[in-house]
Amino acid sequence: MCPGDKSISQRAVILGSLLNEDIAIKGFLNGEDPISTANALNAIGSSITIQGTSVTINKRDIPFRNPDKEVDLGNSGTGMRLMMGLISSLNLNATLVGDKSLMKRPMLRVSNPLNEMGASVVCNEGRPPISISEGKINNNFDYVMPIASAQVKSSIILAAVAANKNVTVTEKHPTRNHTERMISYFQGNIKSTPEDLGNKIQYTSSKLIPTSTYEVVGDFSSASFLIVAGLIAEQSNILIKNVGLNPTRCGLISVLKSMGGIIDIQNERMVSNEEVGDIHVVSSSLKGISVGGDIIPNIIDEIPILSIAASFANGETLISDAKELRVKESDRLQAIADGLRKINIQHELYEDGIRITGSPDDISVCPEINSHGDHRIAMSFLIAGLRSKNGIYVKDCANIFTSFPNFIEVMSSLGMKLNER
C-alpha cells in the first residue's frame, strides 16, 4: 500500500481548518512535513489531532489567532509557502521559520505576488524567516506566474479563499492541481481553462461546503521509488496499491514506458476528486532517452529516482530544463551528480540538467553517499543499491521520514536488505 500523498495531506488540513467543521481525514501521511503543517495550523488556533494516518479537525468556537511564538515548519517548503498565503489573509501577525535547509530556500516567488495582492509579507534577503503582518487582500487580483510552481499558485489561491476574494492565476506550464481539485471537491467555484501551453485558473469567492470525511490517495512521488526499484531489480514483479494518478503528477510513468519499462495500471477509480489506481511493475530492460520541456514540471520531484533508472539503462539519458532542482531541499542536480560519481556512473552536469550514460551492468563499488539532507536523494541512492554487488551506504537518512516514514519497512517487505547504522 502506498503512503498518503504529502502534498494532498498538507492541503487537506489547511482547507479543512478553513472550513471550520468537524472533519475526519483518512490516509493522512504521518510524516514530518505534514505534521509540521498541522502543528503550524494549531499554532494559529486550529484544533487538529493526529492518530497514525487518521486526522480529526474539530470545529473552532473562536477565530484564528496570532501565534504565541515563531511558527516552525521544519523541513516543509510546501507547508511554509501554503501557510504564507493562508496567514496573509487572516489579519494575523506571525513569523515563519524552519530547519537549516528550509531557511535557505527562496521565498520571494511567493511573497512578491502576495504583496502585490495586498498582503504584508517580509522575507530575510528573499529567504526565511518570514514575517507576516495584517494586510488587505485585493479583489480580482490577476497574476501571471513567471515560473511553474504549484506551491506559488496554491498560496495565492488559498489567500483568496481565506479572504473571500476573487483571483485569477495564469501558469505558463501545467503544474499539480491538487488545490483546485480539493476546492472543487468542497464545491468551491473554481475553474481551469487551457491557455497556450498552460492554464488560466479562476477562483470566484464562494462558500465551501464541508464533508464529514476526506480520503487522501497514495503519494505518486513515494510510489516512484517502488516503480523504479521494480524496473531495475532482477526478476521483480510487484503491485503498488492505491497510488494517486493525477495527470499533473504521474508523468514519470510515460517517461519510464518510453525507456522500455513494463508498467500496467489496474483498478482505476476516483477518490476525493483524485484519480487513483494500482500499478503493476516487472523487471525491464531500459534504454536512454531525452527528457525536457513541458514534462519537467510534472516530474520535477521524481528526477532523482529517474536518474537512477537512467544509470541502469542502456545508452544516454539527457534531462534538461530542470534548473528548479537547484533550489529544492538541496541543490538536487549537484547532489545527483555527486552520488553518480561515487557509484562510477558516467555523467555530465549542466546548469539546468544532467546527461547520464547508463549501463545494464551491476556496479561493484561500495561507496558512501551524502544525502545532502534531502529525502529524495537518500531514497534514490538506496534504491541504486539494488544493483550494487557490494551495497551502498547513504549518510543522513533521517530526512526520509519527512515524506515516506515507512520506507525501510516497505522496501524490506519487498526483499531489499536495509541496515541502519
pLDDT in tens, 98-120: 999 999 999 999 999 999 999 99
| 239 and 180 share one domain | no
Q: Mind telling me the catalytic residues?
A: 301
Which of 215, 233, 268 lies at the terminal end of a domain, its last residue? 215
Average pLDDT along the chain: 95
Residue 54 covered by a domain: yes
Question: Distance between CA atoms of 278 and 260, rounded to whole angstroms?
Answer: 19
For residue range 148-173, list pLDDT tens digits in order.
899 999 999 999 999 999 999 999 99
Whether 419 is in a domain gets the answer: no
Q: Which of 151, 185, 215 is the last residue of a domain?
A: 215
Q: What is the DSSP string of 52-119?
A: TTEEEEPPPSS-----SS-EE-TT-HHHHHHHHHHHHTTT--EEEE--TTGGGS--HHHHHHHHHTT-
CA distance 203 to 206: 8
CA pair distance 360, 362, nearest whole angstrom: 7
Q: Distance between CA 265 and CA 256 in Å, rounded?
A: 13
pLDDT tens digits along 302-322:
999 999 999 999 999 999 999
Distance CA 112, CA 100 (A): 23
> Residue 365: what pLDDT?
79
Same-domain pairing of 99 and 229? no
Domain match, 166 and 29 both = yes
Give the pLDDT confidence score for residue 185 in this predicted structure. 98
Does residue 400 register a pLDDT over 80? yes
Alpha-carbon gap, residue 353 to 319, rounded angstroms: 5
The predicted pLDDT at position 328 comes to: 85
Supply the range of the domain harboring residue 19. 6-215
**How do residues 206-253 score in pLDDT, each as one tens digit?**
999 999 999 999 999 999 999 999 999 999 999 999 999 999 999 999
Q: Decide the pairing of beta strands 71-72 and 23-26.
A: unpaired
Q: Please state, in angstroms and rounded to a whole number, the distance separating the CA atoms of residues 300 and 221.
A: 10
Helix, strand, coil % in the chain, rounded to nearest 5: 35, 25, 35
pLDDT of residue 421: 64
Domain co-membership, 156 together with 31: yes
- Work out the burial of residue 235: count CB atoms within 10 Å of its CB; fewer than 13 is exposed, 13-18 middle, 19 or more buried: exposed
Domain count, the chain: 2
Separation between Cα atoms, residue 68 and residue 258, nearest integer Å? 52
Nearest-10 crossing angle of helices 6-19, 150-163: 10
Identify whether residues 268 and 409 lie together within a single domain.
yes
CA distance 291 to 419: 34
Q: What are phi and psi of 390, to 5 degrees?
A: -120, 10
User: Quick check: is 42 in a domain?
Assistant: yes
Percent of all residues in the chain with a pLDDT value above 70, rounded to a whole number = 100
Domain end marker among 200, 215, 230: 215
User: Rounded to 5 degrees, what are φ and ψ at 121?
Assistant: -125, 130
Q: For a pLDDT cut of 90, what percent of the chain falls above it? A: 88
Exposed e or buried b per residue across 311-347, where buried means at least 16 C-beta atoms within 10 angstroms of its C-beta: bbbeebbbbbbbebbeebbbebbebbbbbbebbebeb
Same domain, 114 and 237: no
CATH of the domain at 179: 3.65.10.10
Is residue 207 within 8 A of residue 220, CB to CB? The reply is no
* Mean pLDDT, residues 328-342 taken together: 93
Domain membership flag for residue 420: no
> Do β-strands 94-97 and 71-72 pair in parallel, antiparallel, or remain unpaired?
parallel
Domain-located, residue 418: no
Is the pLDDT at 367 greater than 80? The verdict is: no
Same domain? For 224 and 139 the reply is no
Handedness of CA 269, 271, 272, 274 (dihedral sign): negative
The alpha-carbon radius of gyration of the chain (Å, integer) is 21
* Local structure of residue 273 (DSSP, 8 states): T
Entry pTM:
0.92
Residue 410 identity (one-letter amino acid): V
Q: Does residue 330 sit in the same domain as residue 396? A: yes
